[in-house]
A and B are shown apart, each in its own frame.
Chain A
Amino acid sequence: DAGVIQSPRHEVTEMGQEVTLRCKPISGHDYLFWYRQTMMRGLELLIYFNNNVPIDDSGMPEDRFSAKMPNASFSTLKIQPSEPRDSAVYFCASARSLAATNTGELFFGEGSRLTVL
């Protein structure tokens, strides 16, 4: 398997523009997570899905952020309008199961580095 695939790897945009980040999880994984990484806050969980259904979006910063998972092989994270403070590396991760009896391992993509000017 190719692993978790994210696009774009780098995005530079101007304040106020819409940004869409994309993720293809590993086939057969039931869970998909979006994390944001900054120096100040480390790895923050934004939202996660189980079988394409959003389970917990309490980490989404505000209404400017939205995430969708229309099918088992694709998810998007959208920021509209973008602001300079949204600059960060956004990671998508997938997992087969989080149950205590299984490994619970998260498989991360290589991230999308977003710069909002």
Chain B
Amino acid sequence: GENVEQHPSTLSVQEGDSAVIKCTYSDSASNYFPWYKQELGKGPQLIIDIRSNVGEKKDQRIAVTLNKTAKHFSLHITETQPEDSAVYFCAASRGRDDKIIFGKGTRLHILP
């Protein structure tokens, strides 16, 4: 089955700097890669996703990149703000009603 590895497990960046979280996946048939953000005491919430026919996608300060050959994808957050502090999860799925498998998460701390 699919296995998703996520690094780092913890990341601290100065407010205003950029943060990058990286994930790898094992199943070459996976074609849908969402990212979720989990705030304290809440359930995860989708923030951006990318499909295998796209190499990069941006939404304001957030961008995701996908390298299907290497089977890795990344989340980039620019101009970080205090409200970006949270746990971020990457995930992978083969789509077509297949289950979504999550990485173990990255706890992001934005330092003042």
Interface residues, chain A, with chain B CB atoms under 8 Å away: 4, 31, 33, 35, 41-45, 48, 50, 55-56, 58, 91, 93, 97-100, 103-106, 108-111
Contacts and interface: CB of A to CB of B under 8 A. Distances in A.
6 contacts: A31-B97, A33-B99, A97-B97, A99-B95, A99-B96, A104-B95
A104 B99 contact: no
A97 B98 CA distance: 10
Contacts of A35: 102
Interface of B: 1, 6, 31-32, 34, 36, 41-46, 49, 51, 89, 93, 95-105
Nearest to A30: B97
Contacts of A56: 99
Contacts of A108: 43-45
B31, B43, B102: most-surrounded residue (chain A CB, <10 A):
B43
Contacts, number: 70
Contact of A48 (B31, B96, B99): B99
B99 A42 contact: no
Given A56-B99, A98-B98, A100-B51, 10 more contacts: A42-B103, A43-B105, A45-B101, A91-B43, A98-B95, A98-B100, A100-B95, A104-B93, A105-B49, A106-B46
A31 B103 CA distance: 21
Contacts of B42: 110-111
A93 B43 contact: yes
Contact of B102 (A43, A97, A111): A43
Contact of B32 (A31, A58, A93, A100): A100
B28 to A, nearest CB: 15
B43 A4 contact: yes
